[in-house]
Amino acid sequence: MPDVNLYDDEFHPSPWQSTWREFKQSHIALVGLTTLSFFVVLAILGPILTPYAPDLQNTTALLLPPAWHDNGSVLHLLGTDVLGRDMLSRIIYGIQVTFGGAVGAVLFALIIGTAFGVIAGMTSGVRSSILNHVLDTFMVIPSLLIAIIIVAILGVGLSNAVLAIGLALIPRFVHATRNFIKEEFNKDYIKTARLDGASSVQIYFKNILPNMIDVIIVQGTLAISVAILDIAALGFLNLGAQTLLPELGVMISEGLATAYIAPWNILLPGLSIFLMVISINVVGDGLRSALRNRMSQ
């Protein structure tokens, strides 16, 4: 006996379901999401997946080429560096350090920047004008330059580099949050809520915040790619992670001395950074397009 639907209710997907439906229409975005998921798994399960310790030296296998090379070995699939350390293990640990540091910096910037953005967006007058001009000034300066200045004050090291990049990324979130709140306050449903007697705090938590989560996620995703490049750049300049710590930027810097005889020491860490940044940017663009399409419906 066929099923009979007594209630002809129309299905209304949630905002997340609508965003995912629009996102998966782009095959490039799905490829980027798959690649990004791969790096996330490596960052989380890095110590379990590595065949060797990242600082384990093997003096009998110095500058060993990758396994597909004629002189390579399956014991070291991606070869070894000048000290005989396994490149596969170091790259996996490097992804964990670089990607994890970038996520930490972005979370710090997201929390602080969103809080200041809400204050800037919901205030007016002289305070709002001064804050807006200060933010516009910081938005012009590249985040890496701001991070270098902060590291020069705090001192070198991975923790200081992550903190410096987080501070440098705060204006990005303040700017995005402030602009979104300013636009929302001019819409009819906010004016209706004000006429009903709702306070600014009630309007923010009940009306603006649910719609702002998508914007924050998109901005956070794109900011991670910037943080990855900045952490790697500071490591390359010996201002971030130091030589004892396997970090992708540091690995590229160490590989410069043997670039002509062992180019894989530069190519492999650089390729990892490139793929991480590209996948994050593709996912961020896909999310932004999905949100735009969802809002236009």
In 180-200, which positions are buried (b, 16+ CB within 10 angstroms) versus exposed (e)? bbeebbeeeebeebeeeeeee
Q: Greater confidence, 126 or 250?
A: 250
Q: Minimal CA–CA distance to 116: which of 165, 154, 169, 161?
A: 169
Query: What mean pLDDT is reported for the chain?
Result: 84
Q: What is the pLDDT of residue 273?
A: 95
pLDDT band at 1 (very low <50, low <70, confident <90, very high): very low
Q: Looking at the DSSP assignment, which residues form a beta bridge with residue 80?
A: 86
- What number is the average pLDDT over the span 15-31? 81
Return the structure tokens found at 7.
């209630």
Q: What is the pLDDT of residue 106?
A: 95
Domains of the chain plus CATH, in order, are: 27-53+78-296 (1.10.3720.10)
At residue 250, what is the residue type? V
Could you tell me which residues come within 8 angstroms of residue 50 by beta carbon, excluding any fewer than 6 positions away?
A: 86, 88, 89, 92, 93
Q: What is the pLDDT of residue 242?
A: 80
Q: Minimal CA–CA distance to 109: which of 235, 231, 224?
A: 224
Q: Minimal CA–CA distance to 90: which of 244, 260, 263?
A: 244
Q: Minimal CA–CA distance to 95: which of 222, 244, 231, 3?
A: 231
Global confidence as pTM: 0.87
> Is 13 strand, coil or helix?
coil
User: 87 pLDDT exceeds 70?
Assistant: yes
Return the structure tokens found at 36.
């990004």
Q: Greater confidence, 45 or 187?
A: 45
CB of 84 closer than 8 Å to CB of 94: no
Length, in residues, of the chain: 297
Percent of the chain with pLDDT over 70: 92
Task: Give the tens place of pLDDT for each residue, 163-219.
Answer: 999 989 988 888 888 888 888 777 777 777 777 777 777 777 777 777 788 888 888
Return the structure tokens found at 77.
């699939």
Quickly list H helices, the chain.
15-23, 27-49, 87-122, 126-140, 143-154, 158-185, 188-195, 200-203, 209-236, 248-255, 264-296
Lowest mean per-residue pLDDT among 9-23, 157-171, 242-256:
9-23
**Number of neighbours of residue 134 by Cβ within 10 angstroms:** 13
